[in-house]
């Protein structure tokens, strides 16, 4: 599989804030170390879980540098660099490459609906400015743009766009990607409740925030798939399914921070306008975690 060093469980760290809403870099490094030590196969800062759109350029740079320095090459690092404008996306992609990232992830963020040609030109412009691989991230629920399988196929004609992260929750798209694009293209599941189905469809990995709470189960699922042990994979998946559904439905940053607190781990504060989950929601999450 060309130009791809990412496989297995790619863990998404949260971005913790102090009570005054300043990014807490020291705490971020501690939380990052938990993920690396858990056995995650890769780290992906500045995704949805890391509240990328709520950060300033300087904060994104600080998170990128903190990740590279803390991980120290133990696992590959995939940095989210998405922005509304192509110019800012290029800026952060170049910064990530210079800092030592192994690849970058881009979701086409938009206020106005982008055409397919505009999206292709956006990715192409970034690709021409960096030499590391790009993961094209399709998540219409957060980015506001749904990239069709046909469009994703066009993006893969750009030389260093070598990976696709599919988060629509449509497993048929995953089957299409594997059938139409062949083994040279790596595609990743970004829809937590579809982890088992995605691996069955041939996903190279699973990009997820769940390792913040249940790394053993996430890694166990991947290991069972690698052994072609479907019965074990199903057993492990269904054990974690309710938690996976819950954290997606309640919003990853809120749910992961609440889950960490339940586990006795400091996850920091949220940044407005995001607010902590209600007491009833926290109680529900605590019940789910206690039954795993």
Q: What is the DSSP letter of 23?
A: B
Q: What is the pLDDT of residues 7-48, one digit of tens each?
A: 999 999 999 999 999 999 999 999 999 999 999 999 999 999
Q: What is the pLDDT of residues 66-113, one digit of tens each?
A: 999 999 999 999 999 999 999 999 999 999 999 999 999 999 988 888
Distance CA 267, CA 212 (A): 10
Which one is catalytic: 60, 165, 250, 257? 165
Tell me what the mean pLDDT of segment 55-68 comes to.
98
Residue 1 domain flag: no
Tell me what the mean pLDDT of segment 250-277 comes to.
98
Q: What share of the chain in percent tops pLDDT 90? A: 85
Token pair in block for residue 74: 């133990």
Predicted pLDDT at 1 = 42
Is residue 274 within 8 A of residue 253, CB to CB? The reply is yes
Tell me what the mean pLDDT of segment 237-260 comes to.
97
Q: Which residue has the higher pLDDT, 282 or 2?
A: 282
Helix spans in 131-170 (H): 140-143, 149-155
Token pair in block for residue 70: 């803390």
Q: How many domains does the chain have?
A: 1
Domain interval for residue 21: 8-290
Distance CA 25, CA 213 (A): 20
Distance CA 250, CA 156 (A): 33
Residue 2 domain flag: no
The pLDDT-based confidence of 3 (bands split at 50, 70, 90) is low
The count of C-alpha atoms lying within 13 angstroms of the C-alpha of 258, restricted to the half-sphere facing its C-beta, is: 25
pLDDT score of 2 more than 70: no
What is the pTM assigned to this prediction?
0.95
Catalytic residue status for 137: yes
Residue 3 domain flag: no
CATH of the domain at 59: 3.20.20.70
Q: For the ranges 62-76, 176-190, 277-291, which has the lowest average pLDDT?
A: 176-190
The phi and psi torsions of 9 (rounded to 5 degrees) equal -95, 110
Which one is catalytic: 12, 137, 176, 269? 137
Tell me the average pLDDT of the chain. Answer: 94
Residue 90 domain flag: yes
The count of C-alpha atoms lying within 13 angstroms of the C-alpha of 135, restricted to the half-sphere facing its C-beta, is: 33
The pLDDT-based confidence of 199 (bands split at 50, 70, 90) is very high
Sign of CA dihedral 173, 174, 176, 182: positive
Distance CA 143, CA 84 (A): 10
């Amino acid at each position: 599989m060309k130009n791809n060093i990412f496989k297995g469980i790619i863990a998404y760290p949260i971005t913790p804030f102090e009570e005054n809403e300043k990014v807490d870099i020291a705490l971020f490094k501690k939380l990052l170390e938990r993920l690396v030590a858990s056995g995650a196969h890769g780290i992906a800062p500045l995704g949805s879980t890391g509240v990328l759109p709520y950060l300033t350029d300087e904060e994104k740079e600080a998170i990128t540098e903190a990740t590279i320095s803390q991980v120290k090459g133990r696992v590959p690092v995939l940095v989210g660099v998405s922005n509304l404008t192509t110019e800012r996306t290029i800026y952060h992609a170049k910064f990530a490459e210079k800092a030592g990232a192994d690849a970058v992830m881009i979701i086409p963020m938009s206020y106005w609906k982008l055409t397919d040609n505009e999206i292709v030109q956006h990715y192409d412009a970034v690709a021409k400015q960096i030499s590391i691989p790009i993961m094209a991230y399709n998540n219409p629920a957060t980015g506001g743009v749904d990239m069709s399988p046909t469009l994703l196929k066009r993006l893969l004609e750009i030389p260093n766009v070598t990976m696709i992260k599919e988060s629509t929750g449509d497993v048929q798209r995953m089957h299409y990607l594997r059938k139409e694009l062949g083994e040279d293209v790596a595609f990743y599941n970004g829809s937590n409740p579809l982890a088992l189905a995605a691996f069955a469809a041939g996903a190279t990995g699973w990009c997820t925030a769940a390792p913040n709470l249940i790394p053993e189960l996430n890694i166990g699922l991947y290991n069972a798939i690698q052994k072609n042990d479907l019965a074990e994979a199903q057993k492990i998946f269904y054990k974690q399914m309710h938690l996976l559904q819950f954290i997606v439905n309640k919003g990853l940053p809120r749910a992961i921070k609440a889950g960490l607190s339940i586990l006795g781990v400091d996850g920091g504060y949220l940044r407005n306008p995001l607010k902590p989950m209600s007491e009833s929601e926290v109680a529900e999450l605590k019940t789910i975690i206690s039954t795993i």
